[in-house]
């Protein structure tokens, strides 16, 4: 459905293709609600280890409500207040340390990331060495590798890694993946590994999450029609960075990332008649609205939403907060 601005006389027109779905996924929505419900139930402060999701707008909003973000548990005083683990997941040593200190913790790990953790444990229990497809240093990768003893998981970042990786000899193999990767890139890496190690075990169900897949599919549907793709997201958000890459590969001449409307330099729109807009899974819709408001400063917008999937998935809050949820 195409909607046109009605208060834009004398402004040049701009076609806007809005990706659907975009923005928050169920795992991000759950993680934010965990912090908010903990604040309501237990009062401030609530401590959060690492950014709850990779978006400064979200983090700063929670800080204003009383959340305190830390990188490690040793930064948290023994005052009995809750600590929340981020949506990306944590190594097993982290809840172990929290239990030793008798901390009350809430695990906001996305259930789809937890699924990958359980897969890793399943393969390890069956004596398989695991090849993890993902990006070095990303919190999700650190958390997944930290589910098992050191040396049980080998990280594979790209097809070059897949060509040269040398897992332990005479040990059965399995692969798992980070949930926020490029669908196409991952398929190429898996193809290389499968050719080299045909007996390698695969996940029963693809590890890349539904939200990542759907957002990339929407960008692919828009990219050939757009002269510029604007991705609302954060530079440390893996799924947002992937959307920029997907847009370029899918035929959009230029794609950029902005964290919010005020970061958009309208000069980049010079000569552009059709722009695509999407948002990473940790970017709230209010930031997309900011970008649209910024565009309206110069243009009369004709907006079309391009929907490739409907998302109705929700995840329950932890049992400790279930009464607060009700």
51-54: Cβ within 8 A, 24+ apart: 51/86, 51/236, 52/84, 52/86, 52/87, 52/108, 53/28, 53/86, 53/87, 53/237, 53/282, 54/234, 54/236, 54/237, 54/238, 54/240, 54/280, 54/282
Class of 2-25+210-307 per CATH?
alpha beta
Which tens digit of pLDDT belongs to each residue from 32-42?
A: 999 999 999 99
Can you give the residue ranges of every domain in the chain?
2-25+210-307, 27-110, 111-196
Question: What pLDDT is stored for residue 94 in this prediction?
Answer: 97
**What confidence category does residue 5 fall into, taking pLDDT thresholds of 50, 70 and 90?**
low
Query: Are the CB atoms for 308 and 214 separated by under 8 Å?
Result: yes
> Do the domains 111-196 and 2-25+210-307 match in fold?
yes
Helix axes 210-222, 238-249, angle to 10 degrees: 30
Q: Which of 60, 140, 304, 305 is catalytic?
A: 140
Backbone angles phi, psi at 280, to 5 degrees: -65, 165
Q: What is the DSSP letter of 201?
A: B
Identify the H or E element spanning 157: none
Q: Give the mean model confidence (pLDDT) for residues 111-130.
A: 97
> Could you read off the pLDDT of 51-65 as tens digits, one per residue?
999 999 999 999 999
Torsions phi, psi for 29 (to 5 deg): -60, -45
Decide yes or no: CATH 1.10.3720.10 for domain 27-110.
no
- Say whether domain 111-196 belongs to CATH 3.40.1010.20: yes
Q: Annotated catalytic, 140?
A: yes
Q: Is the pTM of this model over 0.95?
A: no
């Amino acid at each position: 459905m195409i909607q046109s601005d009605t208060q834009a006389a004398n402004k040049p027109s701009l076609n806007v293709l809005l990706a659907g779905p975009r923005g928050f996924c169920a795992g991000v929505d759950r993680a934010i609600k965990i912090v908010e419900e903990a604040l309501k139930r237990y009062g401030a402060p609530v401590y959060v280890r690492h950014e709850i999701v990779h978006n400064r707008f979200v983090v700063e909003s929670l800080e204003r409500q009383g959340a305190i973000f830390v990188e490690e548990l040793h930064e948290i005083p023994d005052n009995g207040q809750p600590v929340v683990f981020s949506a990306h997941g944590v190594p097993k040593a982290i809840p172990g340390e929290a239990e030793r200190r008798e901390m009350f913790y809430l695990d906001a790990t996305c259930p789809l990331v937890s699924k990958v953790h359980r897969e890793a444990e399943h393969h390890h229990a069956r004596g398989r060495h695991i090849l993890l497809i993902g990006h070095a240093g990303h919190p999700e990768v650190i958390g997944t590798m930290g589910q098992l003893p050191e040396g049980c998981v080998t990280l594979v970042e790209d097809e070059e890694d897949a060509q040269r990786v040398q897992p332990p000899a005479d040990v059965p193999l399995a692969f798992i993946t980070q949930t926020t990767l490029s669908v196409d890139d991952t398929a190429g890496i898996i193809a290389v590994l499968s050719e080299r190690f045909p007996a390698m075990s695969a996940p029963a169900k693809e590890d890349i999450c539904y939200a990542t897949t759907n957002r990339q599919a929407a960008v692919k549907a828009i990219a050939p029609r757009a002269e510029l793709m604007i991705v609302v997201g954060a530079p440390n958000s893996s799924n947002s960075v992937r959307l920029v890459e997907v847009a370029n590969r899918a035929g959009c001449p230029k794609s950029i990332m902005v964290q919010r409307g005020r970061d958009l330099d309208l000069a980049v729109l010079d000569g552009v008649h059709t722009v695509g807009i999407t948002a990473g899974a940790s970017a709230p819709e209010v930031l997309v609205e900011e970008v649209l408001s910024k565009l309206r400063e110069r243009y009369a917008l004709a907006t079309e939403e391009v929907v490739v999937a409907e998302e109705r998935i929700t995840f329950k809050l932890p049992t400790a907060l279930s009464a607060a949820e009700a």
